[in-house]
């Protein structure tokens, strides 16, 4: 009996424990359903707790390449030989660095140099190279490379080739201080000298002392080696395209695309068709004549940016030519009759930004008030011509040409055969003719256009100008530039010339600006030209290319300032489901 009592007590305890377990158990609360467009994966990861429910989201992934089409092909992608070939200039800017470079705000900043200083007398400029400068083949950049490159420009062959800064380097003494410091000694203070140091540096260790005359045939031109953001992977001459790899020294590992491939086409229409066919994913520098078609037919993103180039209507002020354009009243009337907004809308499909004066708006010498903007007023312009003695004869039919002392108001307008200038010239001629001026328009191929421009065979000429980043315009507007320079309009103003001469001898921008203000006043008074518009560049990228963001482009590499975020691939990334909405 005693033993049975113990077993009953044990059985009762077990039953009570089972009842307690059952009463304390609760159903787990189910997780909220995920969004319907989210894939659910239970992914093992060390980042999150092992029992946390994870989803995946798509993020930019590594891989793929940008394939760009350009019109033309390289010839000499070499910083000393690129010249007027736009494909060469494009590649040189991506592959090579100078001691300095201009950023897209127009400010000069260090590149291969880490700093520079100017002596008290303004005649010596000492540069210190960065300690980490490295060629694409891994060799260090030294002052021997700098001395070699700029020394080539001092050779007679460089002057004979017509390099813009070859004459400057004839008067510079190059002094290598040590492996990282180099000094340039000038005969006189000359602030625009710094712009000459933006020219790309060549690798002395690969060229082995090749002189300037031998540069054109050196194999390095087929697979250039520089220090810039992109590395040439292949021989473009044999492959028919250039493959550019991101330079790890420049970008680190922070890029997603594997490469940029640049393919060559004979015309805009050919590369445009290749873009529609999906053979290439980017088109740069789209002319206005094809822009509308691309926008209508292609599934693409479009970016428009200002370029450091502008178009002027230049007047011939050569007093030996005896042209009506030499009268100030005639020039002022033309300026007042030209409606820039209408002209750009009709002539170049709105692909330009009107502005006034000889300085681009991002130059430190630009003044929005000098010259003052002129309000378009054809009636006032006509009255001004009448007051100056240019009248329509009594009884003449509407639209007749004005006369003065038996001479008709007749002007020759010269333009160049190009997609932009031809139509623009037609509309410009119509605007001037409504004043009672007979405009004889000549649209010439480049060679004839250049001959007539340089010989002064025009009264008005449409001219495209790509000014230096430094605001020194001495070679465009000084008296000396009439004989040795590009003063094609023969503007002969002694005081304006003296202001430009004084400004180039000062290093301080604020001090220089005082003389540029004086120059602009003389420019406004004499009206030697009418600035029409600043050029823009249109860049189209396929919808396959994501993450693109393009701001102002002063040099080709400015287009790629946001290159690390460009991508064509997407990757799945694990993330806690409750953070998907963040």
How far is the first Cα of the chain from the last one, in angstroms, to the nearest whole number? 72
Q: How far apart are CA 552 and CA 534, in angstroms?
A: 13
Residue 169: phi and psi, rounded to 5, are -70, -15
For the whole model, what pTM was predicted? 0.85
Residues 312 and 187 in one domain: no
Tell me which of 156, 187, 222 is where a domain ends.
222
Look at the chain and count its residues. 582
Residue 335 in this model has a pLDDT that exceeds 90: yes
Cβ-contact 266, 323 below 8 angstroms: no
436: alpha, beta or left, given left = phi > 0 and alpha = psi -120 to 50?
Answer: left
Residue 418 in this model has a pLDDT that exceeds 90: no
Residues 383 and 511 in one domain: yes
pLDDT of residue 125: 98
Residues 210 and 313 in one domain: no
Cβ-contact 365, 516 below 8 angstroms: yes
Percent of the chain with pLDDT over 90: 75
- Give the domain CATH number at 510: 3.10.105.10
Residues 187 and 314 in one domain: no
Range of the domain at 394: 307-535
> In this structure, are strands 438-444 and 410-416 parallel, antiparallel, or unpaired?
parallel
Tokens found for residue 514: 């005082």
Q: Using omega within 30 degrees of 0 as the cis cutoff, is the peptide bond preceding 388 cis?
A: no
In a domain, 582, yes or no: no
pLDDT band at 501 (very low <50, low <70, confident <90, very high): very high
Q: Between 54 and 14, whose confidence is greater? A: 54
Residue among 539, 531, 577, 576 at smallest CA distance from 559? 539
- Give the domain CATH number at 115: 3.90.76.10
Compute CA distances 312 → 38, 206, 339, 453, whole Å.
57, 43, 14, 13
Residues 486 and 341 in one domain: yes
- The predicted-structure confidence for 118-128, as pLDDT tens digits, reads as follows 999 999 999 99
pLDDT band at 27 (very low <50, low <70, confident <90, very high): very low
pLDDT of residue 377: 97
Low-confidence winner among 14-18, 410-414, 444-448 (lowest mean pLDDT): 14-18
Residue 3 in this model has a pLDDT that exceeds 60: no
Residues 215 and 347 in one domain: no
Residues 218 and 329 in one domain: no
User: H-helix or E-strand containing 68?
Assistant: strand 65-71
Tell me which of 222, 255, 283 is where a domain ends.
222
Compute CA distances 373 → 352, 358, 398, whole Å.
17, 13, 30
Q: Between 365 and 577, whose confidence is greater? A: 365
Residue among 263, 286, 266, 260 at smallest CA distance from 72? 266
pLDDT band at 581 (very low <50, low <70, confident <90, very high): low
Q: How far apart are CA 466 and CA 164, in angstroms?
A: 13
Domain count, the chain: 2
- The predicted-structure confidence for 513-563, as pLDDT tens digits, reads as follows 999 999 999 999 999 999 999 999 899 999 999 999 998 888 999 999 999
Burial 297-333, CB ≥16 within 10 A → b, else e: ebebeebebbbbebbbbbbbbbeeeebbbbbebbbbb
Residues 349 and 461 in one domain: yes
Q: Can you tell me which residue has the tokens 């602030």?
A: 191
Tokens found for residue 555: 């040099």
Residue 20 in this model has a pLDDT that exceeds 50: no
**Which residues 6+ apart lie within 8 Å of 341 measured at CB?**
354
In a domain, 64, yes or no: no
Q: Can you tell me which residue has the tokens 């050779």?
A: 155
Residues 321 and 173 in one domain: no
Percent of the chain with pLDDT over 70: 90
Residues 349 and 472 in one domain: yes
Tell me the H-state helices in 434-558. 446-455, 474-477, 480-483, 494-503, 509-526
């Amino acid at each position: 009996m005693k033993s049975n009592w113990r077993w009953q007590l044990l059985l009762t305890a077990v039953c009570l424990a089972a009842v307690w377990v059952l009463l304390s158990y609760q159903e787990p609360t189910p997780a909220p359903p995920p969004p319907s467009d989210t894939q659910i994966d239970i992914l093992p990861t060390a980042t999150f707790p092992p029992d946390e429910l994870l989803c995946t989201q798509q993020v930019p992934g590594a891989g793929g390449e940008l394939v760009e089409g350009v019109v033309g092909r390289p010839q000499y992608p070499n910083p000393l030989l690129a010249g007027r070939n736009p494909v060469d200039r494009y590649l040189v800017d991506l592959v090579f660095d100078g001691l300095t470079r201009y950023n897209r705000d127009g400010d000069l900043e260090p590149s291969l140099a880490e700093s520079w200083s100017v002596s008290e007398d303004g005649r010596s400029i000492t540069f210190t190279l960065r300690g980490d400068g490295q060629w694409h083949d891994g060799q260090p950049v030294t002052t021997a490379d700098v001395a070699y490159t700029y020394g080539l420009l001092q050779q007679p062959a460089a002057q004979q080739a017509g390099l813009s800064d070859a004459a400057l380097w004839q008067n510079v003494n190059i002094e290598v201080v040590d492996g990282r410091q180099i000094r340039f000694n000038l005969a006189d203070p000359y602030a625009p000298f710094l712009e000459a140091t933006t020219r790309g540096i060549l690798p002395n260790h690969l060229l082995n002392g090749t002189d300037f005359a031998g540069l054109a045939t050196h194999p390095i031109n087929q697979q250039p080696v520089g220090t810039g953001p992109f590395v040439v992977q292949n021989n473009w001459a044999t492959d028919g395209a250039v493959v550019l790899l991101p330079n790890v020294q420049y970008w680190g590992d922070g890029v997603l695309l594997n490469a940029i491939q640049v393919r060559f086409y004979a015309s805009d229409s050919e590369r445009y068709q290749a873009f529609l066919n999906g053979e290439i994913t980017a088109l740069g520098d789209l002319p206005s004549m094809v822009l509308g078609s691309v926008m209508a037919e292609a599934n693409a993103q479009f970016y428009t940016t200002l370029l450091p180039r502008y178009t002027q209507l230049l007047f011939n002020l050569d007093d030996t030519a005896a042209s009506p354009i030499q009268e100030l009243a005639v020039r002022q009337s033309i300026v007042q009759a030209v409606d820039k907004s209408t002209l750009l809308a009709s002539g170049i499909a709105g692909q330009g930004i009107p502005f006034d004066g000889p300085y681009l708006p991002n130059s430190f010498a630009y003044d929005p008030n000098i010259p003052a903007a002129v309000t378009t007023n054809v009636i006032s312009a006509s009255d001004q011509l009448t007051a100056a003695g240019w009248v329509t004869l009594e009884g003449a039919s509407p639209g007749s040409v004005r006369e003065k002392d038996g001479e008709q108001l007749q002007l020759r307008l010269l333009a160049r055969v190009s997609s932009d200038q031809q139509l623009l010239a037609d509309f410009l001629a119509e605007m001037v003719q409504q004043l009672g001026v007979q405009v004889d328009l000549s649209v010439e191929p480049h060679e004839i256009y250049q001959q007539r421009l340089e010989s002064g065979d025009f009264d008005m000429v449409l001219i495209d100008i790509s000014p230096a980043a430094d605001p020194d315009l001495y070679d465009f507007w000084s008296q000396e530039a009439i004989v040795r320079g590009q003063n094609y309009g023969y503007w002969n103003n002694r005081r304006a010339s003296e202001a430009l001469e004084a400004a180039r001898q000062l290093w301080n921008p604020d001090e220089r600006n005082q003389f540029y203000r004086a120059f602009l006043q003389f420019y406004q008074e004499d009206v030697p030209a009418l600035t029409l518009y600043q050029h823009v560049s249109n860049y189209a990228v396929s919808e396959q290319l994501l993450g693109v963001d393009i701001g102002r482009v002063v040099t080709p590499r400015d287009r790629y300032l946001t290159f690390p975020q460009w991508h064509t691939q997407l990757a799945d990334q694990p993330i806690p489901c409750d953070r998907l909405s963040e």
